[in-house]
A and B are shown apart, each in its own frame.
Chain A
């Protein structure tokens, strides 16, 4: 049974169809990356999965349980089992680092404060921010904020973690530190669904890669297949343009 099972997912933004029949199954411990041109629906897919945009058709199942996005209890249960890290970090500006990580487990999930605090400290230590517990988000660099955001997501103990272009808003020299943090998660067999433009990273870390365009998955395969021997022309053009661009730069 797949950890995350998406079938025939269709979503619209106003009158534009942004997801046009997505099928994707992710196994437990698997790492799947979504690549593709901007506007292809990668980030929208993550928004739909996490319930920020209601799908018009299709289903999303988490560990066998289909999420009913119209039902608050069902959505609540689903959100309890997943976590998302945003491109713009979205740390709560009014809370310091430690509180950002602890607030949901303690206040929303009603877990024991001391236990959560110990975990939060360990996680922040792990992402290299053990000395920034009392800092506020606006006192941190983008890379540091994003690592806090990852720690915050991990402290929710999600069954699957969604990463939405987590390095796109960062200065180039900050990208590495965040990618290294994600590699740590990969090594721990966390189930990850990643949207990224960092092709080298995607290739390195993913078990499977999906190329998206115009709201559909055009090609799905191992990193080797997608990057070295894409089956369709569109993937080839995209990959070669991006990789070519990278080498040129």
Chain B
């Protein structure tokens, strides 16, 4: 059997198939990256809403809180399928890739929001008080004092989350997105042995994820200020 599978290898790595896999790998990476970038933007907004001290904003605060707590407790596959089938029944004509981008963004917003909150809260209250007595507005103290001190704490775990999320995006294959896992399925239906194509893709994921994970660890050490290493997701 092994010899039989080994004989497939030259056939598998034709230029056409390599390009297919390379494109799929880019899609895999961009799914996670888009999720994290959108997550960073929306997550920051959610966190700001959640941390706001203005009384009149309480409905927004409650919504932000609920969103963050609830979205982290729904499987990615279920979120993805909600959007996938939801778009169908509502008659929206979204491509699978668009559906996947929305899903990854919606999920990572909740996870990244928590990382952002930890980072922003790590900035001492006394720093903000000092800004306040010198007549900084809320926004000025956020932009000039809080954010510059928080981002070295926030970035490493967000990067860690990005690496972690790369693996979750394998589920996007269920919506028909042509990322690595879907590419394996396609090659499988083209007649290549399942063991060969899935092992190949498994290896590709490893080649992508492992160096990035190491880089993330390095980043965390270098920016050092991170008081809590949060590259693992916490629910």
Which of A's residues lie within 8 Å of B, judged by CB?
A: 50-52, 76, 79-80, 83-84, 86, 88, 90-94, 103-104, 107-109, 156
Contact = CB atoms under 8 A, between A and B. Distances in A.
Given A93-B149, A94-B148, A107-B144, A86 B135 contact: no
Nearest to A87: B126
A50 B131 CA distance: 12
Contacts of B144: 92, 103, 107
Contacts, number: 46
A52 B133 contact: yes
A90 B126 CA distance: 6
Contacts of A94: 145, 148-149
Contacts of A51: 132-133
Interface residues of B, number: 15
A90 B134 contact: no
Contacts of A80: 135
A218 B219 CA distance: 56
Q: What does DSSP make chain B's interface, helix, strand, loop or mixed?
A: helix
B148 A79 contact: no
Secondary structure dominating the interface of A: loop
Interface in B27-84: none
Contacts of A107: 140, 144
B133 A93 contact: no
Nearest to B151: A94
A158 to B, nearest CB: 10
B132 A86 contact: no
Nearest to A75: B135
Given A88-B126, A90-B127, A92-B127, A108 B132 contact: no
B144 to A, nearest CB: 7
Interface string B106-132: 000000000000000000001101111
B53 to A, nearest CB: 13
Contact of A52 (B129, B135, B140, B149): B129
B149 A79 contact: no
B88 to A, nearest CB: 49
A107 B136 CA distance: 9
Contacts of B127: 90, 92-93
Given A90-B130, A94-B145, A156-B134, 15 more contacts: A51-B133, A52-B129, A52-B132, A90-B126, A91-B130, A92-B130, A92-B145, A93-B127, A93-B149, A103-B144, A104-B135, A107-B140, A107-B144, A108-B136, A109-B135
